[in-house]
Structure 1
Amino acid sequence: MVADIRKYVQHISLSPDSIQNDEAVAPLMKYLDEKLARLSASLVKENLTRVLEALWELLLQAVLQALGANSDVSTDFYGRFHFTLEALVSFFHAEGQGLPLESLRDGSYKRLEEELRLHRCSTRECIEQFYLDKLKQRSLEQNRFGRLSVRCHYEAAEQRLAVEVLHAADLLPLDTNGLSDPFVIVELGPPHLFPLVRSQRTQVKTRTLHPVYDELFHFSVPVEACRRRGACVLFTVMDHDWLSTNDFAGEAALSLSGVSGVLRPQAGGGARASQPVTLHLRRPRAQVRSALRMLEGRNNKEAQEFVKKLKDLEKCMEADP
């Protein structure tokens, strides 16, 4: 059935946008219905279940291959495969008589569903998802890359965000002497929410894994932008190299929606009155890179500029010992 399934998935891939989704998927569904009716009549339940599980994985891989073989296609193309995926889930579940939903929506399904969802997003939605994934990810080894202590507050009267970098602890030793020369880059994201805001950076603290900064930065931004989806402060810790490229030590993201003064004005006190927050540094994980892969395949200027900036940072990461 392998060659047949790939042929029917290709039929969906090549179907013009002008035809309805159910019409494009119909040949595949008819084929599966006929084959599985025959298998169901000749196999005991245990063996039928094994066949269904193998077919399900085969279908998911065939759709993933079809997505990988196409670029510069319309959002309707990905919408059609999303329709196909849900139709197949319903077919294989068979109102409780087939495979359980939890097994159908596990493993390769999650990867495929994420790919389809991101492909259907606009460039800005995809960039927002990149930052949302950074906010959601948790370090699996919280002490491996160290910690950063910060304090943030929105000053309504001045219409600016105050970000204070206090200190860091247990940073990675990235120099041959077993220490580092760390500094912190502070920036707001996503870029389209803060187009005129430039990143700022702390001073370099030499020969230490426990730097104390106590530096306060201000960003003139409207509070409405801070309330938007994915709006965050991104802290990137770098090891300053006096002779070559700076090394990446770790990063952390803080959602602006939870910052004091953003959702509701707060009288007096300023940034130094808010409570310090300890952030665990980490490296970008697969979930974050998924959104980045979607942006890499897009030819518009906004996507390419965003990817180039991140690639420059990745070069620093790859240079780490």
Structure 2
Amino acid sequence: MEGAELLHQDCSSMERVMRYLEANLDTLYQHLNNDNFSRTLDIVWEQLGEVLYELIQANLEKRRPPSFFSNLHECLKIMVRSFRQDNKDIYSSETLKRVEYLLKLHGMETRELIHQYHLERWQEQQAITEPKMGILTVRAQFYEDNLKLEILNARNLVATDSNGLCDSYVRVAFLPEDAFANVLKPKTQTHSKNLFPLYDEMFQIPLTSEQRRTPDGLIQFIIKDKDMFSMNNAFVGEAYLSFSDVPETPAPISSLPQQHLFLMRPSSIDGDAIKALESRQGDKQAREFLKKLRQKMPSKQFFSLS
């Protein structure tokens, strides 16, 4: 606890803990054979994982800031570096693996946590085998620091109008948002009364070198149904394309293969990133993001986010 609260201040907490552990583990090492010592160490790490998991839950209830969990994560890594030098899997304990992931997650700043949510959604998209929300077809390429996007068509969109059709358009965003704050978000024309719209539009987006090389950069495609008065455009579905899946080539974009992106819409609030955001009730950025997420989800899901 002291390490989590005072790690980067003039504090001897970690030093005292390390001296205690070193002395006691050395005693065990001197009196046990290698196999028994290794098994004992596994038990120690399993117990540590359980203690840390309870500590995380208790301090989430206390609304601790991200720095608390980040410091606690650093304390864990210091201990790992000191006592797991036998070339074994550092996180052989499933509990400890889970703890390490939760500490990393809750130690993120809110903007990082929001991007983690989008990365989880992108990974979820990769696992889809039967697209139930439709398919968006695009081409994309990097050339120098320019991104060229060709939004071709969509198929089997979910009907949102009472006539069984959809008046759809595609809005493009770049993630993480703060890295692309000055970048224009392209938008296609609206195609009325159609579940198989042919957008056939090309966009060229200039980026800086830093933006082009954004770690885990994502392109987000959001399809909406345009309301007659543009007051309440309904969410139809979304898809992601990772920067890592966009080729860098001077070749004509028409020569590149089409990329078929399976559309999704949020259907649950069980993700770890969402739960971490929900724990930040006093954070305006987290609240606004969750509010936007509610608008994408079926109304029966809303109660647990309110």
Q: Same-fold call, TM > 0.5? A: yes
Q: Cα–Cα, structure 1 residues 161 and 307, in superposed 2: closer, same or farther, change >3 Å?
A: farther
Correspondence 1:202-221 to 2 at 5 A = 202-221=188-207
Distance 2:104 2:114 in 1: 13
- Rounded to whole Å, the distance in 1 between the matches of 2:5 and 2:247 is 52
**1:236-269: per-residue Cα shift (whole Å, max 9, x none)?**
12223336622222211112233232xx6x25x2
The one-letter code matched in structure 2 to 1:171 is L
Structure-to-structure mapping, 1:59-138, within 5 angstroms: 59-71=51-63, 73=65, 75=67, 78-81=70-73, 83-84=75-76, 104=93, 106=94, 109-123=96-110, 125-138=112-125
**CA distance in 2 between partners of 1:272 and 1:20 (Å):** 63
**Is the contact made by 1:187 and 1:233 (CA closer than 8 Å) also made in structure 2?**
yes
Displacement of 1:234 after TM fit?
0.6
Of residues 142, 145, 149, the one that matches 2:133 is: 145
2-structure distance, mates of 1:84, 1:213: 51
> Aligned residue pairs: how many?
289
> Which residue in 1 is equivalent to 2:152?
166
Q: Deviations over 1:115-171 (max 9, x none)?
A: 311333345544543443343333554412221100112344xx5322111111122
Match of 1:43 in 2: none
Would you say the 8 A contact 2:91–2:97 is kept in 1?
no
Partner of 2:280: 297
What one-letter code is carried by the residue in structure 1 that aligns with 2:294?
E
**In the superposition, relative to structure 1, how do residues 77 and 209 fare at CA in structure 2: closer, same or farther (>3 Å)?**
closer
Partner of residue 39, structure 1: none
Asked if the contact 1:82/1:116 (under 8 Å) is kept, the reply is: no
Amino acid at match of 2:101: E
Contact 1:226–1:232, Cα closer than 8 Å, also in 2: no
**Structure 2 residue aligned with 1:4:** none
Aligned equivalents of 1:54, 1:149: Cα separation in 2: 47
Per the alignment, residue 233 of structure 1 pairs with 219
Q: 1:117 is aligned with what amino acid?
A: K
Counterpart-to-counterpart distance in 2, 1:27 and 1:61:
23
Secondary structure, aligned partner of 1:138: helix
Which residue number corresponds to residue 246 of structure 1?
Answer: 233
Deviation of 1:277 after TM superposition, in Å, equals 0.5
Contact persistence 1:174–1:320 (CA under 8 A)? no
TM-score, normalised to structure 2, is: 0.69
SS at match of 2:240: strand
Q: Which moved more, 1:14-23 or 1:196-205?
A: 14-23
The answer to whether the 8 A contact 1:149-1:279 is kept is yes
Aligned residue type for 1:149: T
CA distance in 2 between partners of 1:175 and 1:110 (Å): 46
Question: Does 1:312 pair with 2:292?
Answer: yes
Q: What residue is the counterpart of 2:142 in the other structure? A: 154
Task: Kindly provide the amino acid, as one letter, of the partner of residue 260 in structure 1.
Answer: P
Cα deviation, 1:47-78, whole Å, max 9, x if unaligned, reads: x9xx9999678535412223303445473653
Q: Tell me, in whole angstroms, the C-alpha distance in 2 between the residues paired with 1:319 and 1:218.
A: 37
